[in-house]
Chain A
């Protein structure tokens, strides 16, 4: 992995690498198989969005601990066109491309915390957190 858990997202191979890294860190954080799969799938969606809709960016992957439990925090950021109507983008089936339009809404449901910051022309930042249960 690159410094401080930061990984570039500039190609399909990078999306695969992000997925594999998130899986490895999720195991390290003690997540169950189902939680690993959820967070890996969310990471795959958001990384691909960065690549497809913003032409590239990066993600920071880190283990977090709130004193009671451990979890995973992923921060995606790009300098792409940004999202004008965030509410609309989160609606299932809404897409401006050839995809299914389920990535944003779906990944929000797959994680515990989902913070999206975006404005037209200012890029997009999405920070998600998934806690390990039990």
Chain B
């Protein structure tokens, strides 16, 4: 089917501003295939159903809109953790600031290097989950990323990784336009935690493909936001084997435009996938969580917990779907998306969906929008807790269900501290 002219023009205008990065034969083939996908799908437009609540214009336009740098002195998260740091500044690998990847104890390489080799394991993963994730809903920005990502990391773990891999993104140029693509493979029974933080660029397009083999466990904790004017479109694609575990948590504070898509396929029996998010926005904040979880196997569990705190006209979006295929009996699917509106100007738009073709399943979903409970607030104040503090306690309480999805206590604590910090900076 031919694309509408407007979409075609917008797509070609964007592509004209990009060049396929050089690389070895396998990655070039993957990039060319992805580029063909982009041309076939066209980049997202305002009329697209999947972009009904979020305007894709600024994510698609040829030039990144200018974004001012972060102006207060909050420290970066995870500083006191023993971790393997991989640092990117405006999308460019910073060797100085990064740890020695050769001495990391796990296979970890830059994509730019992996892609230059003739043979590499990443060949079987790069762009593969992204391509599979284009059906039944198209995600053209992810295909664009596969085609044009300039760098990223390729991580392969066979045992229990001792330290988390910490991807640290800095934003130093007001007009940077970055694309990074990470591929992560956990072999049978492997364990790995990946952390991400930092604003990355004025405009950031990121894809992370995670292949979790049988019995493997993957944890992901990310903080994003910080530089308020930065824009981000991110995708996580995950494939889960038998008895594997995938848990991802994202905290977002600030950001005029964030679209986080998470696409998970449970392909092996008894697998567990949890995705959670806590977002806090003030003013012209726009945050979109779009999740698509497909159950293909028996007795799997999936859980989506998304909480948003919005004030001063901020907008939160949630599109979440659980698709249960006919063979996926005994599926346990849970999805909740809630917003706490701190004033009348803010908006929460939600589209929760269940599509179930198996008969023996337990799926529930719910979406609510509410204000701070006046009775709770009064109860706290009547005990002497000052208004602001009482509100903050209730906001944190609201976010708790999402934050509790982080299993590691130290990480959970560090996220809580950041949430508190944000609340203190943004007085009611």
Q: Tell me if chain B binds chain A.
A: no
